[in-house]
Structure 1
């Protein structure tokens, strides 16, 4: 199966300090892959490097068969988009939902704005009455639906999901996870998701990589997570801390 994301020997630094060390993995086209681990383990930094927000890295990043450069690449936005943890912080407070969703189309010179905005609102389960509201007039779950809709406006094949439900109430988290699962199925999307929530991984993902101190310590299928048969001691610690019951390795 073709790799939608290929990382080879990726090391990412902030100034003189390396925070991600020699990370390598592939995400297959159509797969949902999770990076899990404690805060500060380097998970979100990997997403930032892929998206161009952390340019100080060495190694190889390939997305949809194209090797990523360190410089900004406008065409990349048509292939890959990112959904951030905080839906309020990622939306402009003085722009309506309509403006927010139409902006990517205007930047890339894509027509059919009106119909595309209507279709995307429907795709993420928002009524048309939300179209001309501002972010502060929406609930947290509604804002995250708008953020997901904006990410999909350019019809990318890949979404980078940085803790997409952690800022939401538990009941709303389930709604957003169900939406992400539905969109992946309907649009054939590939997900690379960062989370510390192992039940979310069990629900949404096919495989996971466990990170500690900027390194990957284990890559496993989600069945190993569901059955508690992770191999590395640190992975098993995370699983036990999530409330799972460990099985013999």
Structure 2
């Protein structure tokens, strides 16, 4: 089964169309990356899947369930998003316990204390962190909390919007290793947006290169590692990474 299926997907903000005719099938268990320049529509696709960009046409399915244009709890249970800025995505006046308990309360799920403790442990944080506030945590610890919050509903799909770009390089490696382990242990499917091709090489199986709201190429990571991307624009991205 495909974990994510996008067919003829167009997405607009007001009168401006920003994503054009995207077709993408991501099998269950795969880690897939969307890469391309800023403004190419990558994060907009994640937001549409998550229900945060409601002005779209075409079809979006998650774990075989078609997404509606309204609040869709069935899809929310299956697909959760991790944002770029871990500080901005956590309420500054809510404890970590409150932040992790909130999705459970919204969906009427019990055993909240046990579930919070289990997810903190899963992301490598001990119980000392449970009743702290976001400002008392480092950037890497905050992103671990954000990942734990995304996992509270036991989704099968994580939508990762540049999850390491706001972190120091040494901390980036820790978070990438955590994501790799969680995918293996929990059988997760990842759809990741990133500018960082080495991150794609480390964490992903395939990638789609986007430009001006369209997918211009889909490739295996083996092709990326071998420098064998086909499209001239894909080669430009690769050369810019290697030149940096």
TM-score after normalising by structure 1: 0.96
Number of aligned positions between the proteins: 244
Q: How does 1:1-249 map to 2 (within 5 A)?
A: 2-243=1-242
Q: In the TM superposition, what is the alpha-carbon distance from 1:190 to its structure 2 partner?
A: 0.3
Q: In the TM superposition, what is the alpha-carbon distance from 1:201 to its structure 2 partner?
A: 0.2
Secondary structure at 1:89 match in 2: coil
Contact 2:87 2:142 in 1 (8 A): yes
For 1:96 and 1:137, the matched residues in 2 are separated by 10
C-alpha deviations, 1:3-60, integer Å up to 9, x for none?
A: 1100111010111111001010111100000000010000000001111111111111
C-alpha deviations, 1:107-129, integer Å up to 9, x for none?
A: 11111111111111110000110
Secondary structure at 1:26 match in 2: strand
For 1:111 and 1:164, the matched residues in 2 are separated by 29
Q: In the TM superposition, what is the alpha-carbon distance from 1:147 to its structure 2 partner?
A: 0.2
Secondary structure at 1:53 match in 2: coil
Secondary structure at 2:242 match in 1: coil
Stretch deviating more after TM superposition (209-218 or 70-79): 70-79
For 1:217 and 1:129, the matched residues in 2 are separated by 47
For 2:19 and 2:113, the matched residues in 1 are separated by 42
Structure 1 residue runs of 4 or more that deviate by more than 2 Å after TM superposition? none
C-alpha deviations, 1:71-125, integer Å up to 9, x for none?
A: 1112222111000000000000000001111111111111111111111111000
Structure 1: tracts of 5 or more residues without a match? 245-249
Secondary structure at 1:172 match in 2: helix
Stretch deviating more after TM superposition (101-110 or 88-97): 101-110
For 2:57 and 2:77, the matched residues in 1 are separated by 24
For 1:98 and 1:75, the matched residues in 2 are separated by 24
Secondary structure at 1:146 match in 2: helix
C-alpha deviations, 1:160-219, integer Å up to 9, x for none?
A: 000000000000000000000000000000000000100000000000000000000000
For 1:102 and 1:19, the matched residues in 2 are separated by 35
For 1:24 and 1:228, the matched residues in 2 are separated by 24
Secondary structure at 1:243 match in 2: helix
